[in-house]
């Protein structure tokens, strides 16, 4: 393939001629043909005006030492593979939750308990593939964190997040803020968009398989793109099993669900079903695809599906009774349901427009009483590169404009009026953000309790906004106050790759535990069962049990002591070490690091953690507590003595 | 071993009777015997007074959107294994630098270039040990980040940091802010304290092997602690090779160096050389050990050493001409050289005192003209649990008190006067911090340019200072303004495990590059050489070269394109993919994720990155750019087609 020139030119052409619902119009895309930097949308340092910064000096985003934030921010980390908890409005990172990554601090990916979670949901093919690669994935690409709903608002039980890199969905339990389930999605390739059902109570997690691949992807149809398919998946979020899947046309991008509990919908780009950039941009229209979960459940009962890898798969391509395809201009990206319960905003990406759908029209569409485009009730032109839209719960929307490096505030009712021919400008205000915003989110904005206080713009480039830290720059999460009806940037928040998406949750929604005592469905059940089967009480354990070449070392910890200050094994033994932290002082996590053996674990208050390894390195090896616990923390240690073979 | 009671009691006894330089006195340790919580030093919510918070509302720590910080903070991450760059005073995390961890975002631990850095400095024994474990360590415990010096102040070239978990020292090059060398320290066990030589220009990196083990640690002397040894190491920081080592008595803890370029010194706890908590605390006095680098260099020239694992090792135990042991009360921990160039503060940990040494007396001590304790010129009693001391460059010191949860500000001259019998209180002020401070650091405080503006207290417990995020709480890095002669807490900074230590560097000291063009000693030299050897120009590469079952896939990237939009290999091939990012727009990093194959890499502007793997999974596998780069970022992708065996 020859490089880029035609593709870049292709984009220029497309960007210059962007569609609206009423047909192709010239978008007046200033600078779009001015060369690569302009096409990147990398602006060169537009300063926010002094007036906009006034609020920062008024202290709106300041949370004084010792004061608590009013909201939890739940941040994805993109290709970092973790989830981050923030405080809003301070924008302080409060915690990292290991999910798809390997975490040196907690031993996530190393402990028996984490490795079980990381492997139990893999397909047999992937398990086999990973056999010679350490047994687990070492990377993930975590995009969209979303919380469980009851009656259209967050209920504080779970957070789900996708992994685009290795086709997984993970769940975090909010009582202990730890990942408790991860499953690989069969048949699909590379999970992207993810959203939970909002009503009546989250049952389904909708997950988009972005890329089109052969089905099954086992070597057949290698270069026959016409036989490739993208797959939409509904998980049972409680069971963490696939409920059903739907084959669709095009590539799936983002998704959302309605407030009535019936429909889910996804954006689709590459309706051309091409396999290169030029092909993907050859048509001016793509679509949003709508899924009727009630019809699908009826189809499930009627057996109207094909089973693939143990999962019922529906054919939802054009003509299916389970789906409808609504034409949308130019590679739509984000799709967001408004808190009014009726409107869905589809963001045009390569079109300067967003398309507003009315869910009250979907039943007629599925009954073929109206045409697909009849569900579009507004299509305002906002600016260049609309990607995602957030809501204030007062009828207003905030849409990120990637190429313009702006956020546009606009009003749904005015947009509908304009669509119906009235002379009205739906755009209320625009502000510059720094730079190239992707996802955005408002406080409680994807729930019926959207409160219109705060807006976060997750910007993909920070460039000159922070001290220079080398070729790799942080992203810039900007906090924008919207509580007074305007938009005022009050905080620049640098973050490591990549705060792809976030949600902002009122603090009272979450109430995590402070220790693991009497925890339901504990991650340590297996190891405690094993201890019990050998007659060991986990609370007072100080036992070394040998069974052939397997050695079980059971301890408890109590600051600043491990109950065993030494133990002896033989070279080649398979050693399992399990430790229960019997401390229950708030914040008193212990750790266990076995030096020069690569073993590390977090041991939460009243929890148990374990590792298993082969003792194939003779000598004296110290283990120590790596989570600071006491004035004598450094002295909290012991020795593993490994006798050489044949001695 | 029976659990804890005796140890806890032991600590109470010791804490109650703490030494000063003049002999044992009752420290009046209120509450020390009140039970585990008090012994932990976990205070239960002492609020900072309203007056102390006033400055926060004055905006001292506020850095408005678009404004830059005045200092870089260089933070360790403890058991996370990475290094973090902060902005001070905003306390915003600007960047993470993968070091001892595996990083999903950059592919650190996965790319060929990072795996070379992670493996080339390992001992043959460790390489062999890791063979069945993926070839690299998956964890590290990074404690003490310190920058290279010229003439007693930072020169912005390098940062070094230790790994306690797997006995390593790493170096970060500051031009691109990436780790470029990691070496395992032979003979020693579990590197803890680390400091660079300050004068005339950093040659040596001093590194404490904390734990005592048999020498060599190959299975001999397993349970003969009398034959265990701790090892002090001097690295050549430029070559990243061990220059020499010294066997010492006791366990090594922290270290520092003088401003004259001759002496290094380490704290020692467990002078008892015991292997359990009770034994380690049985004596009331431990020591600081001083190393005379000039004498050691003379010994090196004279061949007065034993070679172990290719390294010259000196016997520096009591009686050696290379060392002197200065008795210090009760398990001293931190050791910090004052910017006045003459005084060294040794922090008592289990004694309420700090001991001040005068380096001008060290020559006489080594010449046996004076006794070890004669180098102590002050020993003020500050409070419970003094761990580390920072400096304002004006003769004042800031010492963290772990058990008291306070910082004590005191004056060196006054402490010396008191030691000499004058009636003067060296303590100027104390403030509460939240809670249990470990390391602290002042702006430029470990250099002769200490400027007395900011103090950071790295607190090990945060408890109720932040929204509850579950059983695992963040640490709390508190920023304290000291520029007006007082101490005012202006920011609570939650951070993930564990900001063990930090330095605060004036912004003008660092000036990193913005791309990799013409980079000296580039990490990608090997892969570019390989490409050149096959006649491939890395800037225009779009080549698939097969040699037997080895396939080389050479591409370049240019937003939003990879130069190869597809390539085909056969099941079982060993595939090497190398990509050069020819974009040079500031902040325009590309990435490469090979979905469902676990391959991921960061490709910096004008840099090249590569991965090698076996293509043992047939089918269509999409690769995509995972570092947001362009409005068509999602479309920046291609296909690897893997033909099944025998087809």
Indicate the Cα dihedral angle A527, A529, A530, A533, nearest 10°.
160
Q: Per-residue confidence at A211, pLDDT binned at 50, 70, 90?
A: very high
Q: Per-residue confidence at B160, pLDDT binned at 50, 70, 90?
A: very high
Chain B neighbors of A351, CB-CB under 8 A: none
Is B602 an interface residue toward A (CB < 8 Å)?
A: yes
- Output the CA angle B479-B481-B485, nearest 5 degrees: 150
Q: Which of B11-15, B134-138, B371-375 has the lowest mean pLDDT?
A: B11-15
Q: Which of B358, B456, B371 is nearest to B413 (CA)?
A: B358
Q: Which of A19-23, A505-509, B196-200, B453-457 has the lowest mean pLDDT?
A: A19-23
Q: What is the CA radius of gyration of chain B?
A: 27
- Output the CA angle B183-B170-B235, nearest 5 degrees: 60
- How far, in Å, CA of A553 to CA of A544, rounded? 5
Is B419 an interface residue toward A (CB < 8 Å)?
A: no
| pLDDT score at A380 | 98
Handedness of CA B195, B198, B201, B206 (dihedral sign): negative
Q: Which of B220, B114, B242, B113 is nearest to B168 (CA)?
A: B242
**B-contacting residues of A 341-370, CB under 8 Å?**
349-350
Q: How far is A299 from chain B (nearest CA, A)?
A: 30
- Are A101 and B102 inside 8 Å of each other by CB? yes
DSSP state of A627: S
Q: How far is B428 from chain A (nearest CA, A)?
A: 23
Handedness of CA A173, A178, A180, A181 (dihedral sign): positive
The 10 Å Cβ neighbour count of residue A301 is: 8
Q: What are the tens digits of pLDDT across the range B411-436?
A: 999 999 999 999 999 999 999 999 99
- Are A101 and B100 inside 8 Å of each other by CB? no
Q: How far is A91 from chain B (nearest CA, A)?
A: 9
- Are B350 and A494 inside 8 Å of each other by CB? no
**Which residue of B215, B386, B467 is the best one to mutate when testing the A interface, meaning the one whose CB has the most A CBs within 10 A?**
B467
**Residue B54 · residue B60 · CB < 8 Å:** no
Q: Which of B457, B323, B485, B467 is nearest to B390 (CA)?
A: B457
> Percentage of chain B surpassing pLDDT 90?
89
| pLDDT score at B48 | 31
- For B532-570, give one letter per residue: b (16+ CB within 10 A) or e: eeeebebeebbbbeeeeeebbbbbbbbbbbbbbbbbbbb
**Which residue of B102, B386, B470, B644 is the best one to mutate when testing the A interface, meaning the one whose CB has the most A CBs within 10 A?**
B470
What is the distance of C-alpha B61 from the center of its chain? 25
Q: Which of A16, A524, A3 is nearest to B561 (CA)?
A: A3
Q: How far is B420 from chain A (nearest CA, A)?
A: 31
Is B209 an interface residue toward A (CB < 8 Å)?
A: no
**Contacting residues for B420 by C-beta, under 8 A, at least 6 apart:** none
Q: How far is B217 from chain A (nearest CA, A)?
A: 5
Confidence check: pLDDT of A34 > 60: no
Q: Which of B421, B427, B358, B424 is nearest to B397 (CA)?
A: B427
- Are A104 and B81 inside 8 Å of each other by CB? yes
Query: DSSP labels for A84-102?
Result: EEEEETTTEEEEEE-SSS-
Residue of B nearest to A178 (CA): B470
- Sheet with strand A406-411: strands edge to edge: A386-391, A396-401, A406-411, A427-432
Residue of B nearest to A464 (CA): B66
| pLDDT score at B15 | 38
**Residue B631 · residue A403 · CB < 8 Å:** yes
Residue of A nearest to B561 (CA): A4
**A-contacting residues of B 443-472, CB under 8 Å?**
460-472
- Are B219 and A644 inside 8 Å of each other by CB? yes
Backbone angles phi, psi at B279, to 5 degrees: -65, -40
- Tally A–B CB contacts below 8 A: 535
Backbone angles phi, psi at B371, to 5 degrees: -90, 160
| pLDDT score at B29 | 29
- Are B631 and A402 inside 8 Å of each other by CB? yes
Query: DSSP labels for A127-184?
Result: HHHHGGGTSS-S---B---EEEEETTEEEEEEEEEEETTTTEEEEEETTTTEEEEEEE
Is B643 an interface residue toward A (CB < 8 Å)?
A: yes
Is A627 an interface residue toward B (CB < 8 Å)?
A: yes
Outline where DSSP puts E strands in A203-322: 204-209, 230-236, 241-248, 251-257, 263-269, 285-292, 306-308, 311-315
**B-contacting residues of A 132-151, CB under 8 Å?**
132-134, 137-141
- How far, in Å, CA of B157 to CA of B236, rounded? 14
- Are B491 and A65 inside 8 Å of each other by CB? yes
Mind spelling out the 3-state secondary structure of B43-59?
CCCCCCCHHHHHHHHHC
pTM for the model stands at 0.93
| pLDDT score at A61 | 73
- How far, in Å, CA of A208 to CA of A255, rounded? 7
Q: Per-residue confidence at B27, pLDDT binned at 50, 70, 90?
A: very low
**Residue A426 · residue A418 · CB < 8 Å:** yes
Q: Per-residue confidence at A60, pLDDT binned at 50, 70, 90?
A: low
Between B60 and A254, the more confident residue is A254
**Residue B355 · residue B328 · CB < 8 Å:** yes
* Facing residue for A497 by CB, picked from B53, B100, B105: B105
H/E stretch holding A566 reads: strand A566-570
Indicate the Cα dihedral angle A517, A519, A523, A526, nearest 10°.
80
**Residue B151 · residue B157 · CB < 8 Å:** no
Confidence check: pLDDT of A334 > 50: yes
- Sheet with strand B566-570: strands edge to edge: B566-570, B637-643, B619-624, B590-594, B599-603
- How far, in Å, CA of B106 to CA of B89, rounded? 28
Q: Per-residue confidence at B646, pLDDT binned at 50, 70, 90?
A: confident
- Are B469 and A385 inside 8 Å of each other by CB? no
Q: How far is CA A304 from CA A207, A233, A244, A300, A312, in A?
A: 21, 16, 11, 6, 9
Helix (H, G, I), strand (E, B) or coil at A612: strand
DSSP state of B313: E
Confidence check: pLDDT of B645 > 70: yes
- For A46-69, give one letter per residue: b (16+ CB within 10 A) or e: eebeeebbebbeeebbbbbbbeeb
Q: What is the mean pLDDT of residues B429-456?
A: 98
- Output the CA angle A210-A211-A217, nearest 5 degrees: 130
- Are B1 and A469 inside 8 Å of each other by CB? no
Confidence check: pLDDT of A3 > 70: no
**Residue B251 · residue B268 · CB < 8 Å:** yes
Average pLDDT, rounded, for chain B: 91
- How far, in Å, CA of B599 to CA of A579, rounded? 34
Is B616 an interface residue toward A (CB < 8 Å)?
A: yes
| pLDDT score at A646 | 81
Q: Per-residue confidence at B497, pLDDT binned at 50, 70, 90?
A: very high
Helices (H), A23-68: 36-40, 50-58
- Output the CA angle B295-B297-B302, nearest 5 degrees: 90
Q: Which of B28-42, B339-353, B572-586 has the lowest mean pLDDT?
A: B28-42
- How far, in Å, CA of B251 to CA of B211, rounded? 6
**Contacting residues for B478 by C-beta, under 8 A, at least 6 apart:** A65, B433, B434, B456, B457, B459, B489, B491, B492, B493
Confidence check: pLDDT of A177 > 80: yes
**Contacting residues for A8 by C-beta, under 8 A, at least 6 apart:** A36, A39
Q: What is the mean pLDDT of residues A89-118?
A: 98
Is A44 an interface residue toward B (CB < 8 Å)?
A: no
The 10 Å Cβ neighbour count of residue B59 is: 15
Counting Cβ atoms within 10 Å, is residue B45 exposed (0-12), middle (13-18) or buried (19+)? exposed
Residue of A nearest to B220 (CA): A619
Q: Which of A516-520, B1-5, B462-466, B566-570 has the lowest mean pLDDT?
A: B1-5
- Are A56 and B64 inside 8 Å of each other by CB? yes
Q: What are the tens digits of pLDDT across the range B323-370?
A: 999 999 999 999 999 999 999 999 999 999 999 999 999 999 999 999
Q: How far is B69 from chain A (nearest CA, A)?
A: 7
Q: How far is B519 from chain A (nearest CA, A)?
A: 12
**B-contacting residues of A 568-587, CB under 8 Å?**
568, 571, 583, 585-587
Q: What is the mean pLDDT of residues A394-399?
A: 98
DSSP state of A482: -
- How far, in Å, CA of A577 to CA of A536, rounded? 13
Q: Which of A29-43, A323-337, B529-543 has the lowest mean pLDDT?
A: A29-43
**Residue A215 · residue B621 · CB < 8 Å:** no
**Residue A336 · residue A446 · CB < 8 Å:** yes
- How far, in Å, CA of B557 to CA of A219, rounded? 27
**B-contacting residues of A 513-552, CB under 8 Å?**
513-516, 540, 542
- Are A496 and B105 inside 8 Å of each other by CB? yes
- Sheet with strand B146-150: strands edge to edge: B146-150, B153-163, B168-173, B178-184
- How far, in Å, CA of B373 to CA of A640, rounded? 37
Q: How far is B269 from chain A (nearest CA, A)?
A: 9
H/E stretch holding B294 reads: helix B293-302
Confidence check: pLDDT of A35 > 70: no
* Facing residue for B515 by CB, picked from A167, A281, A471: A471
Backbone angles phi, psi at A378, to 5 degrees: -165, 155
| pLDDT score at B60 | 58
**Contacting residues for B276 by C-beta, under 8 A, at least 6 apart:** A565, A638, B1
Confidence check: pLDDT of B8 > 60: no
**Which residue of A45, A584, A620 is the best one to mutate when testing the B interface, meaning the one whose CB has the most B CBs within 10 A?**
A620
| pLDDT score at A62 | 79
**Contacting residues for B550 by C-beta, under 8 A, at least 6 apart:** B573, B574, B575, B576
Q: How far is CA B350 from CA B11, B53, B286, in A?
A: 9, 31, 11
Q: Which of A158, A93, A161 is nearest to A509 (CA)?
A: A158
**Residue A404 · residue A46 · CB < 8 Å:** no
């Amino acid at each position: 393939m020859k490089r880029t020139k035609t593709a870049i030119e292709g984009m220029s052409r497309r960007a210059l001629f962007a569609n609206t619902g009423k047909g192709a119009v010239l978008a007046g895309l200033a600078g779009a043909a001015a060369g690569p930097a302009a096409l990147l949308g990398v602006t060169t340092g537009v300063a926010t005006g002094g007036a906009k910064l006034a609020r920062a000096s008024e202290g709106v985003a300041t949370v004084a030492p010792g004061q608590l934030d009013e909201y939890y921010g739940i941040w994805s980390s993109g290709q970092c593979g973790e989830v981050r908890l923030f405080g809003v409005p301070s924008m302080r990172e409060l915690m990292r939750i290991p999910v798809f990554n390997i975490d040196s601090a907690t031993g996530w990916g190393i402990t028996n308990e984490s490795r079980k979670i990381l492997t139990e949901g893999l397909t047999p093919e992937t398990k086999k593939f990973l056999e010679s690669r350490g047994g687990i994935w070492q990377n993930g690409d975590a995009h969209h964190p979303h919380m469980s709903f009851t009656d259209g608002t967050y209920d504080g039980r779970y957070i789900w997040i996708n992994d685009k890199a290795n086709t997984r969905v993970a769940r975090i339990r909010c009582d202990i803020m730890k990942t408790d389930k991860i499953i690989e999605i069969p048949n699909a390739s590379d999970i992207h968009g993810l959203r939970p059902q909002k009503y009546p109570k989250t049952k389904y997690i909708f997950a988009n398989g972005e890329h089109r691949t052969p089905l099954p992807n086992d070597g057949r149809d290698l270069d026959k793109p016409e036989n490739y398919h993208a797959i939409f998946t509904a998980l049972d979020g409680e069971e963490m099993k696939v409920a059903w899947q739907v084959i669709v046309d095009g590539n799936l991008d983002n998704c959302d669900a309605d407030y009535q509990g019936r429909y889910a919908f996804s954006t689709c780009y590459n309706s051309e079903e091409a396999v290169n950039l030029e092909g993907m941009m050859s048509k001016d229209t793509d679509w949003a695809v709508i899924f009727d979960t009630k019809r699908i459940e009826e189809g499930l009962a009627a057996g109207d599906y094909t089973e693939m890898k143990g999962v019922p798969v529906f054919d939802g391509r054009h003509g299916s009774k389970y789906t409808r395809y609504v034409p949308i201009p130019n590679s739509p990206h984000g799709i967001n349901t408004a808190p009014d319960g009726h409107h869905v905003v589809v963001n045009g990406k390569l079109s300067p427009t967003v398309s507003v759908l009315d869910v009250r029209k979907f039943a007629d569409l599925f009954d073929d009483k109206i045409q697909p485009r009849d569900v579009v009730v507004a299509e305002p032109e906002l600016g260049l590169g609309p990607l995602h839209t957030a809501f204030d719960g007062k009828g207003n929307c905030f849409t990120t404009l990637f190429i313009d490096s702006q956020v546009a505030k606009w009003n749904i009712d005015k947009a509908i009026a304009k669509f119906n021919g009235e002379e009205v400008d739906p755009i209320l205000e625009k502000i510059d953000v720094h730079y190239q915003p992707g996802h955005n989110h408002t406080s409680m904005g994807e729930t019926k309790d959207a409160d219109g206080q705060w807006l976060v713009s997750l910007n993909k480039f920070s460039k000159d906004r922070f001290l220079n830290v080398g070729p790799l720059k942080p992203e810039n999460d900007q906090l924008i106050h919207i509580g007074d009806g305007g938009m005022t940037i009050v905080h620049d928040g640098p973050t490591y790759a990549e705060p792809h998406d976030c949600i902002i949750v009122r603090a009272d929604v979450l109430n995590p535990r402070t220790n693991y005592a009497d925890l339901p469905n504990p991650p340590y059940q297996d190891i405690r069962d094993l201890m019990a089967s050998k007659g060991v009480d986990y609370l007072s354990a100080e036992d070394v049990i040998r069974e052939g070449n397997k050695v079980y070392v059971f301890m408890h910890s109590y600051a600043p002591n491990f109950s065993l200050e030494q133990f002896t094994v033989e070279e080649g033994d398979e050693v399992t070490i399990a430790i229960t932290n019997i401390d229950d002082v708030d914040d008193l996590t212990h750790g266990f690091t076995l030096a020069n053996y690569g073993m590390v674990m977090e041991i939460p208050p009243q929890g148990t953690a374990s590792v298993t390894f082969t003792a194939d390195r003779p000598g004296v090896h110290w283990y120590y507590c790596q989570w600071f616990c006491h004035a004598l923390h450094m002295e909290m240690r012991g020795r593993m003595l490994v006798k050489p073979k044949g001695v």
